[in-house]
Amino acid sequence: MKNQQGESLTSMVGQNASIFPHRDTLKPAFTPRGAKATAQFLAMGRAAQDRQADAPPLTPAAVDAFLKEECAALDRFLEEAQARKEADAARAAQLEAQKGEAQRRREERRAASLEAQQAPYKRLQDFTPSAATPAALKACYAPRTLKVRPTAPPPVADLVDLDALRPERGKGAGTEGAAVWVHLLHFLAHHALTVRPDLYRRADGSLPPQMVLHLPNEMMAAKLEKNVSTLRLWTPILEELGYIDARPHYTTMTTAGGQRIPVIDGTLYAIRLQPGHKAKLSYQDLSAQYRNLDEDRKAGRTAYRVVERAEKLGQQEAANAKNANRVPDEEKNMRGSTASPMKAQYLREQLKTWAVTPGQVQDPLFADPRIFSLDELEEAVRTVQDVIYLLPTVAESEANKRAALVGILGTALAHALDDDHSQRWYCKAIWNAWNEEVEGRGGLQVLAAQLARLDVDRHEWGSLKRPAALLNARLRAA
């Protein structure tokens, strides 16, 4: 190549030696940080070399000493690990014991609360007669008595504002509204406390703050001549006032195929008994079992059957009134009056029985001697509940039929209580109650309450031998 310029570098093309040094031969200068790190690393290396130079020579004895030291350290580690494991196990056992104790205490409190709430459905404790016990009571169990007379529930007006329950407008304007249901609930709670005074949990006889009852809405709606949906509308109103706390109660039922399914067997109501208390259902109330639904359905002891029988009684009463050429109740009664007294009375008595023993009903097909003959009554009256229901009719029956009616009731009581030789005594007790009723002392009502209490105790006390002696002692105490 010809170069016209003398200072051209083209003459260097093709030379063996490069004018630029190779990249690998370049040694950049250390940064201050890098220099410090390098110096520390070199110092560590020199210290390790010095230690290795000063260390004694490795002999078999030194190896054995080193291994023994390491084995001892390993043993100490294993012992500490075992100690920690045992300590953890001890702590776990202590926590488990504390949980078990807490669970036991909760079960005891739950059992105590359940026993207090379900006193009407528990078996009473055995009673051992003492030397001072009267001879009439030595063969039976003594009744549970109170040290003082129980306090009567306050008026319903003190427990809930009835004026606030009266509808001001709409279809129900001018009526009592939910107040009629309040009166019925208060009556049933008072009746249950009268029949079972052991529900008074306090030694001074004062009332418990509330009463828990298992009740059927269908029967209460029929008694009030309302619809069940009306009671559902009234329930939140009374709950807001704190007078009641209502929840459906669940149990199990066996289907036709043998399968157990959950169903509702009634409604639980916590009813206020003391002013200022807000009614509240507990877990024990909801978990308790109040009736055997399979047996009740088999025996026809259902709310549906009771309402059906009540309707039949109402129809029979209307037919008898029409045949007797009397003015029908629906024509002579004013607005708001009961069109069928027999139906209302029957439902009232059935609700009283149910409030004491849920699921307990009676057959009313021969319930009134004013409608059915005494021969039919003698065939129909079989149980203590039948006698309880018919006791009010002793005062209402005709004078020429009263003696026969008392004889039928006394005989039925003797057979029901398996005490045939005391038939005359039962008749005498009914006559005495009727005499007190005539004198205005409510003798028939007292006798009915004592018989209802005796019927409950008879089922709870499996070894009760002489119910007549127990009834006699209670009637004398009353």
Contacts made by residues 171-179, CB under 8 angstroms, sequence distance 24+: 175/336, 177/234, 178/234, 178/237, 178/238
Residue 117 lies in a domain: no
- Of the listed ranges 166-180, 224-238, 284-298, 330-344, the least confidently predicted one is 330-344
- The per-residue pLDDT of the chain, averaged, comes to 76
What Å distances lie between residue 473 and 133, 141, 376, CA to CA? 12, 11, 33
| 3 state DSSP class of 184 | helix
pLDDT of residue 408: 85
**pLDDT, tens digit (0-9, with 9 covering 90-100), for 439-463:** 777 788 888 888 888 877 777 676 6
> How many domains is the chain partitioned into structurally?
1
Tell me the residue range of the domain where 397 lies. 374-478
Residue 452 lies in a domain: yes
**pLDDT, tens digit (0-9, with 9 covering 90-100), for 28-65:** 667 888 888 888 888 888 887 777 777 667 678 877 88
Residue 325 lies in a domain: no
pLDDT of residue 140: 42
Strands 210-215 and 260-272, bridge-based pairing: antiparallel
Residue 386 lies in a domain: yes
pLDDT of residue 129: 47
State mean pLDDT over 255-263: 86
| pTM assigned to the model | 0.50
**pLDDT, tens digit (0-9, with 9 covering 90-100), for 104-156:** 888 887 777 656 544 444 433 334 445 554 554 444 433 444 444 556 678 88
Half-sphere exposure of 54 (CA within 13 A, CB side): 6
**pLDDT, tens digit (0-9, with 9 covering 90-100), for 12-32:** 555 555 555 555 555 666 788
Residue 442 lies in a domain: yes
| 3 state DSSP class of 3 | coil
Residue 467 lies in a domain: yes
Residue 405 lies in a domain: yes
Alpha helices in 55-151 (DSSP H): 60-117
pLDDT of residue 82: 92
Whether the Cβ atoms of residue 349 and residue 374 lie closer than 8 Å to each other: no
**pLDDT, tens digit (0-9, with 9 covering 90-100), for 282-295:** 988 888 888 888 88
Residue 119 lies in a domain: no
